[in-house]
Amino acid sequence: MKKSWIVLGAILGVVLIVGLSLAGVYNSLVARSQAVDGQWAQVETQYQRRFDLIPNLVESVKGIMAQEQTVFLALAEARTRYAGAVTPQEQTDAANEVESALARLLVVMENYPQLRSIEAVTTLMDELAGTENRIAVERGRYNTEVRDYNTAIKRFPVVMVAGMFGFDEREYFESYPGTDVPPRVDFS
């Protein structure tokens, strides 16, 4: 009788240890998943800052350059696509379209030196440049969080717990194909 209580106590002890370990691993995965989501929210915050600045810049430049309507239309369409995006991938694609159109606008502005001398445009350009730097930093932090999360869910024995509770691999932020090529604007 005494022996069966010892065996039962040992079994309960092992079950308790395994249960606590599973709970610890699960809680760790939840924390890492939340860190990825939180960092993506930081990227979105910087995107929103950019999208808030763009209309002001466009309006400042539009009054001077009516002939560059295609650039303005591309920016407006990309902003609309971003506003309608639901998933991080859709948001990334729309943000990349904005970057492409914004790069074309910057090239246009470089070809019109009189625009740079207008104080409002200069101030907005500085704000936009600062925002672009913030976006780059937040994207890098997001990719770091994704890397840490993906590494955690692939390690043994966590991979078994991750699979049981549906912790799937997250996607890295990747630039849109062709964003490494500077835009060309031809006024001829």
The two most distant CA atoms of the chain are separated, in Å, by 98
Task: HSE, CB side, 13 Å, CA atoms: give it for residue 110.
Answer: 10
Mean pLDDT of 37-64: 80
Q: What percent of the chain has pLDDT over 90?
A: 25
d(CA 8, CA 31) in angstroms, rounded, equals: 34
Domains of the chain in sequence order: 21-165 (1.20.1440.20)
Mean pLDDT of 56-76: 69
Mean pLDDT of 11-29: 91
Question: What is the DSSP annotation of 11-31?
Answer: HHHHHHHHHHHHHHHHHHHHH
Which has the higher per-residue pLDDT, 40 or 1?
40
Whether the full predicted model's pTM is greater than 0.75, yes or no, is: no
Residue 29: the pLDDT is 92
pLDDT at 1 over 80: no
pLDDT at 88 over 50: yes
pLDDT at 187 over 50: no
Residue 100: the pLDDT is 82
Mean pLDDT of 101-123: 70
d(CA 134, CA 118) in angstroms, rounded, equals: 25
172 secondary structure, DSSP code: P
Mean pLDDT of 150-177: 88
Cβ of 58: how many Cβ atoms within 10 Å? Answer: 21
Mean pLDDT of 44-63: 78
